[in-house]
């Protein structure tokens, strides 16, 4: 079907609803927020019709609180986008904020050679309440998903998160506030766009596929055998051994202090060596929101590096988890996964 507006083709957008606060209502029986029917969200944002875009909708079943998200939903989402890729100029995914950064990170790896925008958004207050942030988030996300350059190509062909006037690369963002409208931050990468009176795009850092003619490649295979060990003073050998040496674990993200440091007590280093010696992938991710891992600065960091721990550079924990799920889903060769962890695949690290 051709959609024309004053001789120009109308942008067509697929709005996908997975759940989250944006579409929740208070259940009078217990006063908790629960997801409600998607058609009512559109009724709450009649402004969308002023764009004169063609907006189709797709609702997941069941709609979920995003703290229930599972890899199956990511696989369904990636497949849905792939199946409808040729029919739409852009995709907007309404998603709960709790795990939005995880979902956006994983999708960024699953969708290779993306040439169209995939914008995740949601809200802190349900769209039906008077002070909602959901309306602006939804309306600007749709505008960004439809935005094209004069050559007809999408301005932002990336998986992004749009929240509170800021467009962030999806695999660079983290949820940092549970009740402020400014819920997400991308500490290690500037915004891809800022929405004020107009939407100002930061074209210098927006990634484009090497060649727009290349078809979208979708990777739906994920291996989730990853654990996270968060370092803290007082951590015990028992806890460290359980996490690093579990037989169901193929990779461990070690959330270290500062620029990638952890205790170099003998018991700790000996467990790290045992795990890496048995072939496990150990990835060093800093607990800091900003900055990067450099295991050559302090002796403690250097000891980790010498024990086989891999440098994640300035990735977020959400991005690291997603990158591991994706790479491990591609190959059973842990040495290949380790070498790819050092590469910048989707703009997730600065190198
Ligand atoms: N618990 C909700 C969710 O992530 C929170 C939100 O949407 O902001 O689905």
- Determine whether the shortest distance from the Cβ of 34 to ligand 1 is under 6 A: no
Closest CA to 313 of 334, 288, 333: 288
- Determine the distance separating the centroid of ligand 1 and the alpha carbon of 96, expressed in angstroms: 4
Q: What is the pLDDT of residues 205-251, one digit of tens each?
A: 999 987 767 899 999 999 999 999 999 999 999 999 999 999 999 99
* pLDDT at position 212: 62
CA 106 – ligand 1 centroid, Å:
18
Quick check: 2 pLDDT over 60?
no
For ligand 1, mutation pick of 96, 99, 101, 124 (most atoms within 8 Å of CB): 96
Q: Ligand 1 within 6 A of 157 CB?
A: no
Burial (0-12, 13-18, 19+ Cβ within 10 Å), 173: buried
Pocket test residue of 17, 26, 62, 97 for ligand 1, highest count of atoms within 8 A of CB: 97
Mean pLDDT of 295-309: 93
Q: Is the CB of 20 under 6 A from ligand 1?
A: yes
Specify the residue with its C-alpha closest to ligand 1, atom 7.
96
Q: Is 303 a catalytic residue?
A: no
Tell me phi and psi for residue 188, to 5 degrees: -95, 0
The answer to whether residue 6 scores a pLDDT higher than 60 is no
Ligand 1 pocket check for 96: Cβ under 6 Å:
yes
How much is the average pLDDT of 169-197?
Answer: 97
Question: Is 115 in contact with 157 (CB distance < 8 Å)?
Answer: yes
Structural domains of the chain, with CATH: 4-218 (3.40.50.1170), 226-341 (3.40.50.40)
Q: How far apart are CA 188 and CA 191, in angstroms?
A: 10
State the pLDDT at residue 19: 92
Output the furthest CA–CA distance in the chain (Å, rounded): 73
Categorize the per-residue pLDDT at 34 as very low, low, confident or very high, splitting at 50, 70 and 90: confident
Q: Is residue 180 lining ligand 1, measured as CB closer than 6 Å?
A: no
Q: Which atom of ligand 1 is found nearest the CA of 65?
A: 9
More confident residue, 262 or 39: 262
For the chain, give the percent of residues with pLDDT over 90: 84
> Could you tell me the pTM of the whole model?
0.95
**Residue 345: how many CA atoms within 13 Å on its side-chain side?**
23
For the Cβ of 115 lying below 6 angstroms from any atom of ligand 1, the answer is no
- Averaged pLDDT for residues 107-134: 95
Find the catalytic residue in 21, 59, 99, 316: 21
> Given ligand 1 and candidates 19, 65, 94, 95, which is best to mutate, with the most ligand atoms within 8 Å of its CB?
65
Q: Are 218 and 111 in contact (CB under 8 A)?
A: yes
CA of 206 to the centre of ligand 1 (A): 28
Q: What atom of ligand 1 comes closest to residue 98's alpha carbon? A: 4
Provide the β-strand partners of residue 282: 252
């Amino acid at each position: 079907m051709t959609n024309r507006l004053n001789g120009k083709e109308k942008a067509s957008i697929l709005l996908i609803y997975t759940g989250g606060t944006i579409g929740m209502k208070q259940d009078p029986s217990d006063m908790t927020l629960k997801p409600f029917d998607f058609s009512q969200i559109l009724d709450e944002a009649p402004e969308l019709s002023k764009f004169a875009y063609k907006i189709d909708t797709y609702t997941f079943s069941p709609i979920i609180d995003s703290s229930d998200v599972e890899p199956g939903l990511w696989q369904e989402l990636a497949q849905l986008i792939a199946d409808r890729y040729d029919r739409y100029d852009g995709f907007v995914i309404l998603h709960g904020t709790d795990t939005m950064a995880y979902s956006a990170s994983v999708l960024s790896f699953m969708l290779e050679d993306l040439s169209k925008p995939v914008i995740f958004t949601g809200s802190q207050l349900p769209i039906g309440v008077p002070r909602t942030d959901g309306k602006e988030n939804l309306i600007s996300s749709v505008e960004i998903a439809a935005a094209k350059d004069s050559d007809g190509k999408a301005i932002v062909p990336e998986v992004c998160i749009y929240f509170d006037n800021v467009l962030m690369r999806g695999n660079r963002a983290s949820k940092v506030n549970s009740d402020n409208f400014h819920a997400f931050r991308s500490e290690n990468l500037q915004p891809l766009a800022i929405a004020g009176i107009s939407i100002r795009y930061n074209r210098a850092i927006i990634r484009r596929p090497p060649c727009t003619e290349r078809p979208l490649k979708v990777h739906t295979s994920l291996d989730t055998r990853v654990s996270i060990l968060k370092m803290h003073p007082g951590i015990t050998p028992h806890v460290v051994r359980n996490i690093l040496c579990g037989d169901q674990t193929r990779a461990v993200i070690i959330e270290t202090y500062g620029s990638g440091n952890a205790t170099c007590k003998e018991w700790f280093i000996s467990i790290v060596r045992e795990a890496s010696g048995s072939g496990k992938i150990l990835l060093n991710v800093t607990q800091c929101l900003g900055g990067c891992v450099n295991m050559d600065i302090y002796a403690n960091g250097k000891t980790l590096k010498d024990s086989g721990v891999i440098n994640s550079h300035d990735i977020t924990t959400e991005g690291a988890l997603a990158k591991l799920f994706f790479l491990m889903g591609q190959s059973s060769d842990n040495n290949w996964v380790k070498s790819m962890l050092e590469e910048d695949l989707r703009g997730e690290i600065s190198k």
